Every structure is written in structure tokens, then in C-alpha cells.
Amino acid sequence: MNTMTLWDISLWGFAALAVAALLVGFSKTAVSGANTVSLAVFAAVLPARASTGVLLPVLIVGDVLAVLIYRRHAHWPTLWRLFPAVAAGVVLGTLFLVWADDGVVRTSIGAILLLMAAVTVWRRRTADRSEEPDSVATRAGRMKARSYGVLGGFTTMVANAGGPVMSMYLLSAGFRKLGFLGTSAFFFLIVNVSKVPFSAGLGLIDGRSLLLDAALALFVVPGAMIGTWAVNRINQRVFEQLVIAATVLGAVQLLLR
């Protein structure tokens, strides 16, 4: 990455990145999946390749804050079931990137997210009428965890867009707000930290990009504080609707870019 381009950001460009960083903090502690808007902002202000390297440490700051706030609510059996499938998804995503251009990647991820949102809405409606949400301990629950895990690993590898897929899985599995946020916090902290060596090896992260990250991290903290305040004032139904809406918005952005 030519990190000199990071020093050519205009005042308005930095302001946009700061708002996106604030939204990262909010999404990590309130409405998971909303940071798909941040992905689009970073890619619009910075060169596409550079944006992934700058955004990753910002996401990790949000992950750390979310873990500190919701660490007691994580459901580790779900996490252990997801990680092997996520690893397989990362491998598939790597192979996909060998031949797919940016347009194919964006269209594929956008289509996957829209499909996941539609399936989740359908499942929630049928569950309201006739059945309990799938348990991760059942055979169907394990299969679902593997399917979403592969999709999550695939999307996080090719577009840093694994958040909405995992959001759809946790909603479909019947997680309540705090369990949802605690489980996703640990999941993304582990996944994002594991990606740092690869990003650094590709030249996407270096001293100059980390200086920009240090400035943007200051905006993640108030975003997380706003999210913590807001989540206690959002009922479960509205929470689920906001997560699904954020997922659809992120999918549409990917399809239209």
C-alpha cells in the first residue's frame, strides 16, 4: 500500500472517516451489522486496498470495547462450533479472490447478505407462529452453524463483511440482545486479530496507517458509549429489525458500488 495517500486526506474526508469510526463503536455495542456503512465510507475516502488495512485496527478497537462491556454474556459453545467452519470459509474466500475481480466480489457478497436477511425474516416469522428457534446443540443447529460459519469466513476474507452474516446467524439461532452482543464481540475480536499478520504482510498495515488509526480510535470510544446507552433502551423486536435493516443496507451498498 502506498501509505503516502493517507496523508492527503482532506478535512471533509477525515470527518467522514471519524463519523464512520464512531459508527463502528456504536455497531459493536448496539446494532451489529451497522458498520457495513463504515466499510463503504472507508472505501470511498481511501483507496480501496488501503481502506481495508486502515479499517481493521479500528474494528479491533471496537471489538475490545465490546468484549469489555459484554464479556459475561458470550456463549462459548456457539463460538467453538463456528470457528472451524469460519476457517474453511476463509480458505474458500482466499481461493475465490484468486480469480474474482472487485465487481464479482461485491455482487456476490451483496447477494449473500440479501439472501441471509430474507431467510432470517422468514424463519423469525415462522418461529413466531409455530416453533422454537433452533438450538445449536441439535443436528439442524450444528448444520446451520457450519453453513453460516463458512459464509462468515468467506465474506470476512473477501470484503471485511462477515458481520452481517454472523448477525443473521445469531438472530436465527434465537439469541437475545446481550447474548448476541457478547458472543459476536468475542467472535470478531478473535477473527480480526488473526487477520492482522496477513494484512501487515501484504503491506496494508504499517506505521503510517497506524497513526491514522490512532486518531480514528478516539471516535470509536464515544460511539461505543452511545451504543451501550442505546442498547438498554431498545426492545428485542426493534433490535432485531435494526440489525436486519443494517444488513440489507450494507448489501445494497455493495451491489450498487
Mean pLDDT computed over 25-31? 86
In whole angstroms, give the CA distance from residue 62 to residue 221.
Answer: 8
At residue 113, the pLDDT reads: 66
| Closest residue by Cα to residue 36 from 257, 250, 255, 252 | 250
Banded pLDDT at 173 (limits 50, 70, 90): confident
Residue 155: the pLDDT is 77
The C-alpha angle with vertex 26 and arms to 34 and 190, in degrees rounded to 5, equals: 80
Whole-prediction pTM: 0.76
% of the chain surpassing 70 pLDDT: 75
Q: Minimal CA–CA distance to 189: which of 41, 16, 69, 51?
A: 69
Q: How far is CA 45 from CA 9, 38, 176, 257, in A?
A: 8, 11, 35, 13
Can you spell out the DSSP letters for 75-139? -HHHHHHHHHHHHHHHHHHHHHHHH--HHHHHHHHHHHHHHHHHHHHHHHHHHHHH-PPPPTTSH
By the 8 A CB rule, do 162 and 155 touch?
yes
CA 105 vs. chain centroid, Å, equals 16
Q: Is the pLDDT of residue 128 over 70?
A: no
- Kindly report which listed range (44-48, 191-195, 227-231) carries the lowest average pLDDT score: 44-48
Angle between helices 36-45 and 236-256 (to 10 degrees): 30
b/e 198-236 (16+ beta carbons within 10 angstroms → b): ebeeeebbeebbeebbeebbebbeebbbbbbeebeeeee
Cα distance between residue 231 and residue 204, in whole Å: 33
Q: What is the pLDDT of residues 102-119, one digit of tens each?
A: 677 667 767 776 776 676
Which residues contact residue 103 at a Cβ distance below 8 angstroms, ignoring those fewer than 6 apart? none
According to the model, what pLDDT value does residue 24 have? 92
Note the pLDDT of residue 131.
Answer: 42
The secondary structure of residue 73, as a DSSP letter, is G
Amino acid identity for residue 133 in this structure: P
Q: How open is the CA angle 109-251-3, to the nearest 5 degrees?
A: 70
Flag whether pLDDT at 256 surpasses 70.
yes
Give percent helix, percent strand, percent coil of the chain, each to the nearest 5: 85, 0, 15
For 58-86, the pLDDT digits (tens) are 999 999 999 999 989 888 888 888 889 98
For residue 64, how many other CB atoms are within 10 A of its CB?
A: 18
| % pLDDT > 90, the chain | 16
